[in-house]
C-alpha cells in the first residue's frame, strides 16, 4: 500500500493544476444546460478536461448527439499514441490491470508514468492507481463543486488560473530534457503545433505538432550507447 500513497503524493501538483479546470468545467456545463448530476457523471465517464469543455460548447449549440461524441473522440485521439507508448512500461501488468489502468490515462498520468518508468522501473500498478484514483476522485469532486456553485468562479483570468495548465505541462516537458533528441523534438513539435493552430485551429494543432515531433524523433540518428544516469540529474524531479 505504500506504493499507492507514493502515487497519491505524486498527484499533488497535478490535482492543484487541474482542480480549477474541473470546477470551471462544472460551471460551464451548468451554464450550457446540463444538471449538476449530468456534469459530474461526464467527468466520471469521459475524464478528459479539454474534450469535456469542447463538448459543453457543442451542447450549448444544440448540435446532434453523435456529433458531440465524434468531436470528443477527435479531441481525445492523442490517447491512442499514449497507450501505444505505455504498453512497454506496463508489460508486467495483468490483462485486467491494463484494461483498468488505461481507463485512467490522462496527459499528466501518462507523462508521470513515462518518467517513473525511467527513474524507478518497473512501474508499480498500485503506484499508478494511487496517482490515478486521487486525480479521478478530485476531478469529479471539483466538477461537482463547480457545477453546484455555478457562476461564482467569475473570471478565471483575474486569479491567473488559465496559466496553471500550460505551466504544469511545460514542467513535464522540461522533465524529459535528459532524453535522447529532446531539444529537436520539442522545437519540431512547437513549430508543428503553431503552424497547425494557424492553418487548422484547435484541437488539430495537438495532432499536427505531435506528428511532426514524433517523426523527428523517429528520424534522428539513433543513440549509439546508453549513458549511465547521474543521480544528481534526477534530484530535482521528485514531483
Partner 1 sequence: MELFRTDIILIILAAGVATYLTRIGGYLVLARFKNIPPRVEAALDAVPAAVLTSIVAPAAMTGGWEVSVVILAAFVLGFKLSGLRLLFFGWALAMVLRHAPF
Q: Binding string, 122-161, against partner 1, x = CB under 8 A?
A: -----------------------------------xxxx-
Q: Please give the residues from 160 up to 179 whose contact with partner 1 meets the rule CB under 8 A.
A: 160, 162-164, 166-177, 179
Cell matching residue 171: 514542467
Binding of partner 1 by 35 (CB under 8 A): yes
Return the exposure string of 3-37: e unless at least 16 CB atoms fall within 10 Å of the residue's CB, then b.
bbebbbebbeebbebbbbbbbbbbbbbbebebebe
Residue closer to partner 1 by CB (options 146, 192) is 192
CA 227 to chain centre: 29
Contact residue for partner 1 among 5, 37, 61, 199 (CB under 8 A):
37
Residue closer to partner 1 by CB (options 141, 173) is 173
Q: How many CB atoms lie within 10 A of CB 113?
A: 24
The answer to whether 72 and 46 are in contact (CB under 8 A) is: yes
Q: Please give the residues from 71 up to 90 whose contact with partner 1 meets the rule CB under 8 A.
A: 72-73, 76-88
Distance CA 18, CA 135 (A): 9
Q: How far is the CB of 232 from partner 1 (least distance, A)?
A: 13
Q: How far is the CB of 103 from partner 1 (least distance, A)?
A: 6
- Planar angle of CA 29, 155, 53, nearest 5 degrees: 30
Q: Which stretch binds partner 1 (CB under 8 A): 120-128, 131-139, 143-151, 209-217?
A: 209-217
Amino acid at each position: 500500500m505504500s506504493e499507492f500513497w507514493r502515487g497519491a503524493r505524486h498527484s499533488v501538483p497535478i490535482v492543484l493544476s487541474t482542480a480549477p479546470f474541473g470546477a470551471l468545467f462544472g460551471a460551464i456545463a451548468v451554464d450550457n444546460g446540463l444538471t449538476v448530476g449530468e456534469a459530474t457523471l461526464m467527468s466520471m465517464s469521459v475524464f478528459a478536461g479539454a474534450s469535456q469543455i469542447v463538448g459543453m460548447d457543442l451542447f450549448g449549440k444544440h448540435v446532434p448527439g453523435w456529433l458531440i461524441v465524434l468531436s470528443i473522440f477527435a479531441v481525445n485521439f492523442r490517447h491512442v499514441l499514449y497507450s501505444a507508448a505505455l504498453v512497454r512500461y506496463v508489460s508486467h501488468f495483468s490483462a485486467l490491470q491494463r484494461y483498468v489502468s488505461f481507463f485512467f490515462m490522462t496527459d499528466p498520468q501518462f507523462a508521470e508514468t513515462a518518467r517513473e518508468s525511467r527513474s524507478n522501473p518497473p512501474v508499480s500498478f498500485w503506484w499508478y492507481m494511487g496517482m490515478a484514483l486521487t486525480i479521478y476522485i478530485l476531478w469529479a469532486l471539483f466538477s461537482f463543486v463547480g457545477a453546484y456553485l455555478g457562476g461564482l468562479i467569475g473570471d478565471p483570468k483575474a486569479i491567473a488560473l488559465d496559466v496553471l495548465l500550460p505551466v504544469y505541462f511545460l514542467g513535464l516537458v522540461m522533465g524529459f530534457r535528459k532524453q535522447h533528441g529532446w531539444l529537436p523534438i520539442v522545437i519540431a513539435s512547437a513549430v508543428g503545433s503553431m503552424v497547425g493552430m494557424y492553418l487548422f485551429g484547435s484541437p488539430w494543432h495537438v495532432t499536427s505538432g505531435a506528428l511532426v515531433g514524433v517523426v523527428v524523433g523517429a528520424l534522428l540518428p539513433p543513440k549509439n550507447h546508453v549513458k549511465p544516469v547521474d543521480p544528481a540529474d534526477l534530484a530535482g524531479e521528485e514531483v
